[in-house]
Structure 1
Amino acid sequence: MEENNLSEGVSTQMAFKRPEIQRLSDALVDQIAAGEVVERPASIVKELVENALDAQAERIRIEVRAGGTALIAVEDNGIGMSPDQLRMAVLRHATSKIHRAEDLDSIGSYGFRGEALPAIGSVSSMRLLTRPRGTSSGHELRMDASAITMDREAGCAEGTRIEVAELFARVPARRKFLKQPTTEWGHTIDWLGRLAMAMPGVHFEIQRDDRRAMVWPATSDPMERIARVLGESQGRSLTRVDWEEGIGHIEAYISGPEQSRANTAGIHLYVNGRPVRDKLLRNAVMHVYRDLLPRGRFPLAVLFLTVDPTCVDVNVHPAKWEVRFREPQAIHQLIRNALRSGIEGRGYLSSSELPSAATPSSWPATGFSAQSLQKPSYSNETQRGSASDGDWLFADRHQLDSDAPLQGQVLEEDRPIKASETPRLNFADQRLLGQVMARYLVLEGEGGLLLVDQHAAHERILYEKLRASWFAGGVSQQGLLIPLTLDLEPQALNTLMTADQTVKRLGFEIEAFGESSIVVRAIPEILAGNNPESLIRDLADELDSESETSAEDPSQTRILKSVDRVFATLACHNARRFGDHLPEEEQKAILEGLDTIPWAPTCPHGRPVVARLGVRELDGRFGRR
């Protein structure tokens, strides 16, 4: 027995081999570095265009094929490089931007790490052509997986052209994580738009799959460039803000409460001309708008912050999206002061009543009548399946058969009605006392008063009707008498076109009109009378928010959750608002509408629909108990 144990121990020790620490090869080091710098094709475009701007380019041409997986080419008319400088540029940590450690304290260029070109060259085939200004010939360098395969004199125009092909072809583990070409193109054009807004004096020409996709001519007017990138209608809605305090300067273009988005994609932030994704800056923007916009709505803002380079650290992340400030609270206060001054200048903070977020006056008011509230049909499958599979709502959902009476007794406390209490009432049968402060409908019921939030109630009705139509095979459309041509951000247009079948089933009929416009021919019938532009923008925002997770989980459950979010957003932003004065017929129509849908105690975003004020509570206020 002891001999067996001893032999087993010896064999175990012989089988175990201690791993040795080794120095990695340069090629492997470059591929590891590429994982930090080259996340996707848009990352390569970002690095190459930033290099062109650092080279004083005034014209930049970008070509993208197959979303960037087949080819990315960036050509500029910058200062170019000599042959020796070109060979140096593809070495790791070789840069012309900084020379000493002290230079990291005051970075004024886009690039400075010296990692981009060698990282890109390690995961692709790369060709570089360059010719310095004032010289008669240029030079060509070709690389394949970090190895230089060609180094020769070549004819070319002044400036630099860099081509990247076969991205991740030799790194299949990375290539399989790339999305569809249309998705990768969306990320690329989104980033190019952000950078173009920071550099209005630079001419950008963008080609997609060998056809011209976008041209942003150089201009001295930042607002003109912003309007070209974001669309004319959104550009016209922005107000310029110019503000300076001791720590820095703010130049911003901001929307009022009447123009908002369904997510934060409309907030574009820059620090010393560099696009950033910074929570501090975004929080400062949202702090100003928190009392101006409904919950779930976000402003449109293009904000340029200029500070002393020594007051900000851009050497935080390899992709240079993140920054750190020496005095973050002072920066936060600077942005709040600047934006507040701009909003006050438009009068939004001076009145006692915030402007109503109802439909713009240029469009008919939201029609909502008893005739439009035909009772939707809810199958048992819809009833039971939607509660567990599709309802993403923050509030608990308890759906009952639409024909079953609501049961329970009226409670005395002043609080929202819960689904589990299931009161026995029909809202339309209660005595309507009227509308209070253009906010609540007041009903006299058994044992007290019922207060109905007109916005939450109408939102819930629209949501349930949209949802029922989806389960019935698709939301009914209503064609526009005159089709609407709408300018969109390229990323928004790409999102809509990628999800064209879902968009159609949601009740919209659209088609692309170039690379930055669409033609809207129909919208959901239930939302007829609303501004088609706001409907389309909200739809694009919600689909964009869900596109990545839906691609990773294409199951019906995931799709239904995504669609639920779209329905909730469309319902919220097209329902009657606080501050809307409703005629008695429309008040009654809302109450009748509540009786036609499965009972739910909240709007899709969790705000209570109804609250009770019991007779005991009323008596107590007058000392009668």
Structure 2
Amino acid sequence: MGVIKQLPQSVANQISAGEVIERPASIVKELIENSIDAGAKNIEIKIEDGGRELIKVKDDGHGIQADDIESAFNRYATSKIENIDDLYSLYSLGFRGEALASIASVAEIEMISRHQDSDQAVKIRLKGGEIIDKKPVGSTIGTEIIVRDLFYNTPARYKYLKTTTTEFSHISKIVSAEATANSELSFKLYHDERQILSTPGNGKLKDTIYAVYGSEIAENLVPIDIEDRYIKLSGYLCRPELTRSSRSHELFFVNGRPIYNNLTAKAVETAHNKLIDPGRKPIVFLFIKVNPILVDVNVHPAKREVKFSRSQIIFDVINKAVRRTLKENDPTTRIKLKQSSGLNETDKDSEENIERDQLFKKDNEQLKQTDTENSEPKKMNTNNKSYSDQNVSKNNYNSQSKNKDSNNYGNKYRGSNSKNYNKNNYQKNINYGDEKGQNQENISEQTKDFNQQIAVNENQEYSLAGVEAEESYFKFLGQIFNSYLLIETDQGLKIVDQHNAQERILYEKFYAEFNKKDKASQSLLLPVKIELSAEEREIVRQYEAEIREIGIDFSDFGNNTILIQEVPVLLKNKPTRNIIEELIAELAEAGKAKSAAEIQKRMLEYLACRSSIKAGQPLTKKESIQLVKDLYKTENPYRCPHSRPIMINISREEIEKGLGR
């Protein structure tokens, strides 16, 4: 008799459940996606004990027909695909027909559903995948699913569930992502009878972000709306001064589906290089729309990850679009002045909640007036007066603002970064923010194609050369504490750290000189002897090839001593001993292997730092103005080589608010 046997259906379902249902959050995700596919406008999620005791998802979608109630719990039963070709043109979130069968096999499940064409609903109960009750009941149109006693029949899997707080945290992340992806739907989330989240469902992405992630993030959003080749990007980036320690606030959506994809995360993070502190992650809500045939959403059992068939093109488009958007929205670190209102924290929270409710009420009234104007999520209409957004068009990085005031000294405001620019293309006046204080940029309108814009000065990243380096762009006010330069621009009052500014200028100058094609080394007239500890000598041996590659030649002098005989020309007349000792100390603390390029970077950073103006050093007006002009000509005038901010900005609105105007 053969030893190979067909597994019972109940066992097969539990194996499938192990792939699809990892924890309570997995069930919430599957049920929410079913509600969205059913055309729901309102989705309510109730959780008890982190999902162990109860998961309830109720929607007002079109419901399930009475004849299909039982079939819905069969494995591979679905209304969303019919043949293999449908997998390559998916527009629904669920499609494999595994979710309900998998959930029912490891829990007790109850469903009440009334189809829109039916006068009554049907209630069905299952336990361990077996139907134990089915009968007609009264209910409104839509579907309600209740899941109890998760993993009651698989104690080994129940044991691996984490604490209530941890499990609910995963659920909250799922609901937050789904709510953000579907701003036209209203989501309500409850945990142990407490309302945790509520979204307005008015079709406005910024309002949903405000409801889910709070006012701080909502007030620092920068819109992105780009179409390049077959890829459309929309959504919001957050200003660089607001970051997180993990990728928890990097949200990506492909054709409306919340996804995880390392490629998209890397593209956004690379675009933020040199604008945020090392180790920090940006905040982004990015919607990517591509032909479904280019996306494989079937690579993960829980549909959590996707795979792109033209990944490099998608990486390049996202990276360049994010970089350009950040640059055109002035990534200078902004400082906000806080006023004491005399309210305690509870009062502040209550006041904020009242304002939020009023905001949503106002938006809903506007929504009714315009009917279906904002109903389609793909339109991403965020013209909410409460936020006074920038409007960024598809193919042009244009911004429009409603400005009231002007300053006579300013002209040639921000625009294209081309070296050959026409001064007449730029505004003759510097304008200031509107009634809501959103200091929107008044970028001159241009009709350049996205690809052409990216091609201009592609290697110069965030350089402001050619436009803002002109003295007429800014007004020098003076030096304070012999350390900081004050300048006035249309963005407000900028405070420039003179040391960090010159460090950036010198670093880029040294970098260009060091990397010339005809770079040469300089033999020292008197070799420099450096005595090392045993540990330091071992470090030098480990990195000997890399040290020689950057142009430093040395020989062993015995007793852990080396003799420096040749250095790059750039180091001529520089403190060679200090530079070499600094390099060795850096390598000793590295903790991991460094390349020749990294060693070179550290050396140039040291040179720039030691050669720069120090804090406390007075500068003349002429020296100060030249320093600012030289700073604007660098590739990244916002961060020094060590990623410290070079300048901060206090907007005119913040100054007026602080003075009670």
Aligned to 1:112: 95
Distance of aligned partners of 1:25 and 1:347 in 2 relative to their CA distance in 1, 3 Å threshold? same
Preserved contact between residue 75 and residue 162 of structure 1 (Cα < 8 Å): yes
Q: In 2, Cα distance between the equivalents of 1:219 and 1:51?
A: 21
* One-letter amino acid of the counterpart of residue 351, structure 1: L
Aligned to 2:580: 414
Distance of aligned partners of 1:580 and 1:61 in 2 relative to their CA distance in 1, 3 Å threshold? closer
Q: Give the SS at the match of 1:141.
A: strand
Query: Does residue 1:47 correspond to 2:67, yes or no?
Result: no
Q: Give the SS at the match of 1:174.
A: helix
Aligned to 1:64: 47
Q: In 2, Cα distance between the equivalents of 1:24 and 1:441?
A: 79
Distance of aligned partners of 1:105 and 1:421 in 2 relative to their CA distance in 1, 3 Å threshold? closer
- Match of residue 196, structure 1, among 179, 183, 194: 179
Preserved contact between residue 275 and residue 643 of structure 2 (Cα < 8 Å): no
Query: Does residue 1:219 correspond to 2:202, yes or no?
Result: yes
The TM-score, its normalising length taken from structure 1, stands at: 0.56
Aligned to 1:124: 107
Q: Give the SS at the match of 1:414.
A: helix
Aligned to 1:231: 214
Distance of aligned partners of 1:441 and 1:110 in 2 relative to their CA distance in 1, 3 Å threshold? farther
Q: In 1, Cα distance between the equivalents of 2:64 and 2:614?
A: 67
- Match of residue 175, structure 1, among 145, 158, 179: 158
Aligned to 1:75: 58
User: Deviation per CA, 1:402-430, whole angstroms, max 9, x where unpaired?
Assistant: xxxxxx999666232649999xxxxxxxx
If asked which structure has higher relative contact order (CA below 8 Å, sep 6+), I would say 1
Preserved contact between residue 438 and residue 578 of structure 1 (Cα < 8 Å): no
Q: In 2, Cα distance between the equivalents of 1:330 and 1:30?
A: 39
- Match of residue 278, structure 1, among 261, 277, 280: 261
1:341, distance to aligned residue in structure 2 (A): 2.6
**Stretch deviating more after TM superposition (197-206 or 209-218):** 209-218
Matches within 5 A, 1:178-577: 178-348=161-331, 349-351=462-464, 414-416=580-582, 418=585, 437=612, 577=644
* One-letter amino acid of the counterpart of residue 310, structure 1: I
1:34, distance to aligned residue in structure 2 (A): 0.4
Number of residue equivalences = 378
1:578, distance to aligned residue in structure 2 (A): 5.8
Q: Please tell me the root mean square deviation across aligned C-alpha atoms, in Å.
A: 3.5
Q: In 2, Cα distance between the equivalents of 1:140 and 1:246?
A: 49
Preserved contact between residue 262 and residue 298 of structure 1 (Cα < 8 Å): yes
**Stretch deviating more after TM superposition (120-129 or 328-337):** 328-337
1:199, distance to aligned residue in structure 2 (A): 0.4
Q: Give the SS at the match of 1:205.
A: strand
Q: In 1, Cα distance between the equivalents of 2:647 and 2:614?
A: 7
Distance of aligned partners of 1:231 and 1:412 in 2 relative to their CA distance in 1, 3 Å threshold? closer
User: Deviation per CA, 1:276-317, whole angstroms, max 9, x where unpaired?
Assistant: 110111111112111222211111111000011122111111
* One-letter amino acid of the counterpart of residue 580, structure 2: D
Give percent identity, aligned residues only: 34
User: Deviation per CA, 1:314-356, whole angstroms, max 9, x where unpaired?
Assistant: 11111111112221111112212321231121134233799x9
Q: In 1, Cα distance between the equivalents of 2:142 and 2:287?
A: 29
Aligned to 1:23: 6
Q: In 2, Cα distance between the equivalents of 1:320 and 1:56?
A: 20
User: Deviation per CA, 1:40-61, whole angstroms, max 9, x where unpaired?
Assistant: 0000000000000000000011
Q: Give the SS at the match of 2:223.
A: strand
Unmatched runs of 5 consecutive residues or more in structure 2: 332-461, 470-482, 484-491, 498-560, 563-575, 590-608, 618-641, 649-661
- Match of residue 102, structure 1, among 67, 85, 101: 85
- Match of residue 125, structure 2, among 124, 142, 164: 142
Q: In 2, Cα distance between the equivalents of 1:278 and 1:421?
A: 35
Preserved contact between residue 277 and residue 643 of structure 2 (Cα < 8 Å): no
Unmatched runs of 5 consecutive residues or more in structure 1: 1-17, 367-407, 423-433, 443-574, 582-625
Q: Give the SS at the match of 1:219.
A: coil
